Amino acid sequence: MAKLNKAPDGAVKARVLVGCALGNCDDVVEVAVDDLPGLVGVVDADPAAVAYAETLTKE
């Protein structure tokens, strides 16, 4: 996986799709917009996906 940039101001929220260094499945994280092309299949930055993940309760 490519080196990730520290999420700057204006970073986007994304839903983690698979467990990885960014977090566990269904976590919501902030990632730099420039990193999104290299994270296809790992995170989903679609606002609907983020909203869904934010509704899930973590136990």
Per-residue pLDDT 10s for the chain (59 aa) are 455 655 666 689 999 999 999 999 999 999 999 899 999 999 999 999 999 999 997 66
- Amino acid letter, residue 53: A
Alpha helices in 1-59 (DSSP H): 47-55
What are the structure tokens assigned to 39, written together? 């994270």
- Does residue 39 fall inside a structural domain? yes
- Does residue 2 fall inside a structural domain? no
What is the span of the domain harbouring residue 36?
A: 12-55
- Number of structural domains the chain divides into: 1
pTM across the whole model? 0.80
- Does residue 47 fall inside a structural domain? yes
- Does residue 28 fall inside a structural domain? yes
Average pLDDT over the chain reads 87
- Does residue 46 fall inside a structural domain? yes
